[in-house]
Amino acid sequence: MSGARLVAMIEPVPHVAGSPRPRVLLIFGGRSSEHEISCATAAGVLRAIDRDAWDILPVGITKDGEWTRVPDDPSLFDLRDGHGQSVHASDTRVALTPGGARLVEFPVDDEDGAVVGTTDLGRIDVVLPLLHGPYGEDGTIQGLFEMTDVRYVGCGVTSSAISMDKHLTKTVLHAAGIDVGRWELITPREWDEDRQSCIDRVAALGYPVFVKPCRAGSSIGISRVESPEQLGTAVKEARNHDPRVIVESLLTGREIECGVLGGRAGTGPRTAPLGEIVVPEGGFYDYDSKYIDTEAVGLVCPADVDGADTRLIQETAVRAFEALEGEGLARVDFFYDPDGHRVTVNEVNTMPGFTQFSMFPQMWAQAGVAYTDLVDELLGTAASRDLGLR
């Protein structure tokens, strides 16, 4: 679809002066490799969100980072047979303006990209950034919201940035006394200038190991490595996604996930019933099993974990959320060894998969919070939180 036709289909922004409904800027797409997943999430939320309570303005970010208004039509952004949709560029863009949380729209000159006049689209009460991965879940866009004095759903700058980075997450959680397994960071300089010491550090972890980009998601760029000969290929693959690479020792046990919702004024975070990812023996929860051959793994919710261990996992999830100074929401992912009652945090996602069928909404549905109510709660919490340092 051409940009010009896309714009023509978008209804004018309704005049909302005096509207009792708070204005929500729903942002999705984005520059990361999880662009299509973000679009699928947006489709789910656009369908579910309570239109009587919230006035929605959908904005897509193209893979090149351009912000553009998009039609309020979920069917354009659904996953179809495992294939994702994406946000297309148009000949107008939008931007948040500093100080006052206003959105402006401006046509862009085809020749030189010059801005040729702007339209004020009005005040934004709260942003719902449904973005995964770098430039969305990593504190960068959160910094923009802080700079423009707009309230937003989810974690702030620091907790987003740390949680996106698997090395920094482990560093912070380890310092908080939470088991995160053993790992080594390989920076580009170390790999290029002193490869042997990298190889030795990895060998000390003991094979097999998992090699991952520090800041990615959806299992992109991750390899399970059985022997030193495979290490170079795995590091190269991870470096296609992030120059910083993390190598982890093998974690065994069941993959258990715990949803956390940040508390509203004065209340602490709360957790949902646990979920479990059931992966076939020897395999792992890779990109294909997440989005393409979804039959290959099972999502089980609630997970069959005994009461004391459930509480241990939930308490550890809250400790992790607080150690990372989380706000709004997070999904804390564990490896759980039922025999040793050992609970190890694998990673923390500050914008977990959020389609109606994703684990996080499923867990809250088990807690009695339906998808629409979950979106409502996230928006309500964000709309009432303080601006600035919190």
Which residues lie near ligand ADP (CB under 6 A)? 181, 210, 212, 216-219, 222, 248, 250-251, 255, 279, 284-285, 333, 346-347
Please name which of 123, 173, 169, 143 lies closest in space to residue 21, comparing C-alpha atoms.
123
Residue 166 makes CB contacts below 8 A (sequence gap 6+) with 183, 212, 214, 215, 246, 347
Q: How far apart are CA 389 and CA 327, in angstroms?
A: 13
Smallest gap from Cβ 212 to ligand ADP, in A, equals: 6
Which two tokens mark 205? 């972890």
- 9 within 8 A of 2, measured Cβ to Cβ: no
Closer residue to ligand ADP (CB): 153 or 238: 238
Closer residue to ligand ADP (CB): 66 or 257: 257
User: Within a 10 A sphere around the Cβ of 311, how many other Cβ atoms?
Assistant: 12
Smallest gap from Cβ 222 to ligand ADP, in A, equals: 5
- Let me know the angle formed at the C-alpha of 32 by 31 and 34, rounded to the nearest 5 degrees: 125
Q: How far apart are CA 195 and CA 59, in angstroms?
A: 44
Smallest gap from Cβ 69 to ligand ADP, in A, equals: 30
Smallest gap from Cβ 354 to ligand ADP, in A, equals: 14
Closer residue to ligand ADP (CB): 142 or 346: 346
DSSP labels for 112-170? T--B---EEEEE-SEEEEE--STTTSSSHHHHHHHHTT-EESS--HHHHHHHH-HHHHH
Closer residue to ligand ADP (CB): 125 or 286: 286
Closer residue to ligand ADP (CB): 147 or 278: 278
Ramachandran sector of residue 388 (left: φ over 0; alpha: ψ -120 to 50; beta: rest):
left
Closer residue to ligand ADP (CB): 181 or 243: 181
Closer residue to ligand ADP (CB): 3 or 181: 181
Which two tokens mark 208? 């097999």
Closer residue to ligand ADP (CB): 346 or 350: 346
Closer residue to ligand ADP (CB): 140 or 372: 140
When CB distances to ligand ADP are compared, the closest residue is 285
Closer residue to ligand ADP (CB): 48 or 168: 168
Smallest gap from Cβ 155 to ligand ADP, in A, equals: 15
Residue 313 belongs to what H/E stretch? helix 307-323
Q: How far apart are CA 26 and CA 57, in angstroms?
A: 6
* Cβ burial, residue 52 (10 Å; 0-12/13-18/19+): exposed
DSSP state of 37: H
Chain centre to alpha carbon of residue 84? 16
Smallest gap from Cβ 37 to ligand ADP, in A, equals: 11
- Let me know the angle formed at the C-alpha of 295 by 293 and 297, rounded to the nearest 5 degrees: 100
